[in-house]
Structure 1
Amino acid sequence: MAQNYPLEINTGNFSLNISGVVGFFGGNEAIGAIQTIHHHKARKFLGWYNSPGSWAVGEKFGKLAKSRFWGGLFPGPDEEPTKFFELDGKQGPKYVASRSGSILEHTGHLAYLIMQKSKGELGLEVNEGRITKRNKITIIKTQRVFDPLPRKEDKKPPDREIPPRSRIPMFVAVLPIAVSFTTCALCGCTYDWFCFSMILLGIVSSGIFSVVMGSARLKLQGVNSAPTAPPGDGMLMDGDNIVLLLGEEKDVATITRGSFILEYDPWQGDDRESEGSLRPGKEPIIDEYNAVGWCSLLLVIQLLAQLLLIPQGTSFGQIMFLISFAASWAYNVYLSSINNKDIQEQLILEELHLEEKHMRTYIFLTRTSAAVFACLMLQPDLGFKPEDIIRNFIPNDTQVWDTWREKVLEVMKTRNGSKDTCDGLLKMNLEEETKSGEKTRFRQDERNLLKLLLDDARIAYHLAMKEKGWLEEN
């Protein structure tokens, strides 16, 4: 007996083809390609190709738009453009100032880049004395970063625009563009308007998005400092990696507290009179990045249209669509393989005017040698607390370490004395007199340890005296 169904479902000839969902793939590569767009000349004008990963790109960068409307479409925390392009957000190492004694437990993104750069330096190994644990010390003689500002502008932190440094080889950039336009034209020649329109939509949406995202101006922003501020000598400390920063307070502060900023034109936000201005009785006007929001929405619409319309095309048109995606994906892979962090490390060295002659890296074989060397290199004539610096390296508080510390601090006071005088202060006696005037007799194992520690200090002292001439030259 035949069964009667209350509703007949007619599927027709409509079927979803796998070529319609490729827009979900290639998202990581597409995002990686966009994140380096500000570092290359003319990159923003080279995005006219049918790029995959439109959903991932639109969803990620759509969160940059700030309003109730965009927050509903692209939910997520409000972050500044520098976070999206990974130009900010990394936590820098601890910083200890040698003059004021002030300590920053965490520094900013620029200090993070400087520390990562120093970790990659090979350095000159100090092959003297014993070996316990290697410590790398990089000395950086900072240079003037910003020109002096007029007094009336002192309230605004100094900044400077950073022009793009490199250029993507033209034949590499032209390849996906040529393939996308060629496949689009072939679809038109075969009257496959579904695939033709979808490839064209991908070209247009990707091109507009690149122009909008790449139109921001990348800047280096410094920090204001008092005109009478003392030198900002200090050290960045990240475990066994130390960076000594020597120079003016404002130049050192740019490394420890400065940042990259991305400045978009007002047409990408809402209507406002000027940046940071106030409307009467209302909150400050902020950038809403409406243009970014509309471009992200266009990318999402592109994917939805491809899901529906690509399966309606011919087999030839779908193959052309996949070929354009494949060429664009290969180009995105090439762009995303360019390490963003490496670009930033090189960029910050150029912007801080740091050349090879302004940097020295040494690898010490013991922590004690590294501590003494760092202390001697940071020591100015006035306002210096060497004991605090040494304790940041070695907080040990036993009788042996206290005696060693007293001898080293005595050398700090007489560093301009003769070599024989300083060597004599770093010798081991049978009985050591403490600050209180009491004489202490050490056990044999303690005497052996103290002798090794003093030998470490003597090695560091001789090297520091050689480096003194280099500092005066640079």
Structure 2
Amino acid sequence: MPIEPPYIQPGTFSLNVSGVAGFFGGDEAISAMQTIHHYKYRKWMGWYNSPGSWNVGKKFGMLAKSNLWDGLFPGPDEEPAKFFELDGKQGPKYVASRSGSVLEHTGHLAYLMMQKCKEELGDQVKGRVTKRNKVTIIKTQPEPFHEIPPRSGSHTLVALLPISASFVTCALCGWIRDWFCFSMILLGIVSSGISSLVIGSARLKLQGVNSAPTAPPGDGMLMDGDDIVLLLGKEGDVATITRGRFILEYDPWYAAIGLCSFLLVIQLLGQLLLIPQGRVFGQTMFLCSFAVSWVYNLYLSSIDNEYIQERLILKELHLEEKHMRTYIFGTRTTAAVFACLMLQPVDDVAHKYVAADKWEGLGFKPENIIRNFIPNDTQVWATWREKVLEVMRTRDDSRNTCHGLLQINSEEETKFGQGDKKLLKQLLEDARIAYNLTMKEQWWLKKN
């Protein structure tokens, strides 16, 4: 004999769940959807009665491209990548060492790269300390651009909890013949599942910048206050970081997002009308499915979308640990000299530093690089800057020769007062520290 459901005496008491049916948990549901394209199978794991259908429908309805949906879901007409916060962040200033061109603002990938480098602990460089400056060297790697495969994660297994809870509560409502609550939980499962499948169907790609095969190296630096990133490599590889971006490609049928969003809005109206007609037990089951789904959405919304993107570009651009080095300098002058020396052009054929009389033809202006760090024009600073430039003009692999140039001479002993002489000696000591570290890093660059 089939098991009969228990008889539940109907009464006048009713849980007032309709007020939270479509609005509760909306922010968490939207945030949970932001990372859907990063993980395998996430688009297939949305079959649960998710709260916040009204907020989700209104938000993602703006992705649909047609006059009809624009009227129902008004809002800014953004590219999908920017909509999912995969693009749109303003990157730091970029100064090219060869052309001398300056980008006051770079793109989203440069922003992510700078944020990643800020998080690096770095090696402390010995010397005096006035204001710490962090310099990260990145030797860019060639990378053909293609679709980015989604990564694996534990979300597939965790998603079984809200899915199971939604189907069990739906079955229990059907068992006691509470068809109002049964139909609303089922509608929530279907609308959420279809929406996840359609919205998560996009392909994530990394769009680079093409350059001519004969283009010179694109060496330069990203500058954000006391954080500097030196980008060394081919023009196209460096330009990918400064001007590249993530893109999301949908198939033409993704206009179905409008229908999914409309279904989510209809879901709210149905819940407002039908849930109060259900029994207390059915309403309780409806709330239980909501509660479990909300906890799962809360778990998904805790994922740092920006951190995932940082790890993603390091992987896709093949920037492993051996291609990145971070140092912390105690003074701005040490960081300035180090950056200038590291960006000095090298003849790849002769494996020697390019002669100073050829700098202009290459567009290399070391004085401008130093001025981007320290624009001071007093006599002491001008003398120090000229000494550093002289080291670069006569630079070779001999440490002693260059150290001899970074000393205060007899003329300067009589020219400057006691205070200025002390400052100049300190600045020259900073330059010697930077030079010694640069000699070490040049060997690292040759190996990698």
Q: Fold conserved (TM > 0.5)? A: yes
Name the Cα RMSD after superposition: 1.5
CA distance in 2, matches of 1:421, 1:465: 13
Amino acid in the other structure paired with 1:27: G
* Pairing 1:125-164 to 2, within 5 Å after superposition: 125-128=124-127, 130-146=128-144, 159-164=145-150
The aligned residue for residue 442 of structure 1 is 416
Deviations 1:272-330 (A, max 9, x none): xxxxxxxxxxxxxxxxxx21111111111111111111111100000000000001001
Q: Is 1:376 matched up with 2:333? A: no
The answer to whether residue 372 in structure 2 is matched with residue 392 in structure 1 is yes
Runs of 4+ displaced beyond 3 Å:
13-16
Q: Is the 8 A contact 1:14 1:312 kept in 2?
A: no
* Residues 32 and 124 of structure 1: CA distance in aligned 2, closer, same or farther (over 3 Å): same
Cross-structure match for 2:288? 323
Match of 1:35 in 2: 34
Q: Match of 2:8?
A: none
Matches within 5 A, 1:49-448: 49-128=48-127, 130-146=128-144, 159-268=145-254, 290-380=255-345, 381=354, 382=359, 383=362, 384-432=364-412, 441-448=415-422
User: Could you tell me which amino acid in structure 1 is paired with residue 69 of structure 2?
Assistant: W
- Per the alignment, residue 284 of structure 1 pairs with none
CA deviations 1:164-197 (Å, max 9, x no partner) are: 0122344311000000000000000011010000
Instruction: Note the alpha carbon deviations across 1:409-447, whole angstroms, 9 max, x for none.
Output: 001112215212111111112423xxxxxx981121111
Distance 2:38 2:385 in 1: 48
Structure 2 contact 15–280 (Cα < 8 Å) conserved: no
Give the direction of change, closer, same or farther, for the CA distance of 1:170–1:70 in structure 2 (3 Å limit).
closer
Offset, 1:76:
1.0
Amino acid at match of 1:303: L
Question: Which secondary structure state, in structure 2, belongs to the residue aligned with residue 262 of structure 1?
Answer: strand
- Taking the aligned partners of 2:262 and 2:414, their CA distance within structure 1 comes to 77
Provide the rounded CA distance (Å) in 2 between the counterparts of 1:107 and 1:250: 15
Indicate the residue corresponding to 1:463 in structure 2: 437
Q: Is the 8 A contact 2:42 2:155 kept in 1?
A: no
TM-score computed with the length of structure 1 as normaliser: 0.87
Amino acid at match of 1:452: Q
Unaligned 5+ residue runs, structure 2? 1-11, 346-353
- The gaps in structure 1 that reach 5 residues or longer are 1-12, 147-158, 269-289, 433-438
SS of the residue aligned with 1:242? strand
Letter in 1 for 2:132: R
Shift, 1:227, TM fit: 2.2
User: Contact 1:20/1:308 (CA < 8 Å) preserved in 2?
Assistant: no
Q: How many residues align?
A: 422
Q: How far did residue 127 of structure 1 move?
A: 2.1
The verdict on how the C-alpha distance between 1:14 and 1:315 changes in structure 2, with shifts beyond 3 A counting, is closer
CA distance in 2, matches of 1:223, 1:389: 24
> 1:163, 1:459 → 2: CA distance?
44
The whole-number CA distance in structure 1 between the counterparts of 2:303 and 2:14 is 39
User: Any idea what SS the aligned residue of 1:245 has?
Assistant: strand
Matches of 1:14 and 1:72 in 2, distance apart? 40
Residues 70, 443 of structure 1: CA spacing in aligned structure 2 closer, same or farther, 3 A cutoff? same
- The answer to whether the Cα contact below 8 Å between 2:13 and 2:280 also exists between their aligned partners in 1 is no
Match of 1:30, SS state, is helix
CA deviation after TM superposition for structure 1 residue 347, in Å? 0.4
- TM-score with structure 2 length normalisation? 0.92
1:453 to 427, 440, 448: 427
In structure 2, distance between residues paired with 1:392 and 1:22: 56
Distance, in Å, in 2 between the alignment partners of 1:142 and 1:210 is 36
Taking only the aligned residue pairs, the percentage that are identical comes to: 76
* 1:308 maps to amino acid: L
Q: Render the CA deviation track for 1:2-35: whole Å, top value 9, x for unaligned.
A: xxxxxxxxxxx89882344232011111111100
